[in-house]
Amino acid sequence: QVIDSTSLGWGTRVKGFVACFAIGCLCSILGSCLLWIPKKGLVLFAVFYTLGNISSIGSTMFLMGPMKQLKRMFEPTRLIATIVMLLCLILTLCSAFWWRKAGLALLFCILQFFAMAW
């Protein structure tokens, strides 16, 4: 059904998935490495880790399409995990940019990880 509704071929969609997922993993790892930079490390970590998670989630949209991805994310069995993950994405950036609380940013990143794994 996805093949009929998109102009991208299967090979192109798989390449898009792999590229987007690899960029997401790279951003998450880079963010973890940048955490140790004095003063700006927390902000860089929060931005790169959050962008990495968004990119990794977005990678599956290449395989199943954006609407099906969103419908699956908000199914009743995944609703709580999706809300927690999206909320933690926002709170991670808030704790890094506005509140400047390193402990909170790390806590929200850990919660992002567990919500995505859930």
pLDDT class of 86 with cuts at 50, 70, 90:
very high
Is the pLDDT at 76 greater than 70, yes or no?
yes
pLDDT score of 20: 95
Q: Which of 16-20, 57-61, 69-73 has the highest mean pLDDT?
A: 16-20
Average the pLDDT over 11-38 and give the result: 91
Q: Which residues contact 79 (CB under 8 A, 6 or more apart)?
A: none
pLDDT class of 5 with cuts at 50, 70, 90:
low
State CA 9 to chain mean position distance: 25
Contact 53/28 with Cβ under 8 angstroms? yes
pTM value is 0.81
> CA-CA distance, 47 to 110, in Å (whole number)?
14
pLDDT score of 32: 85
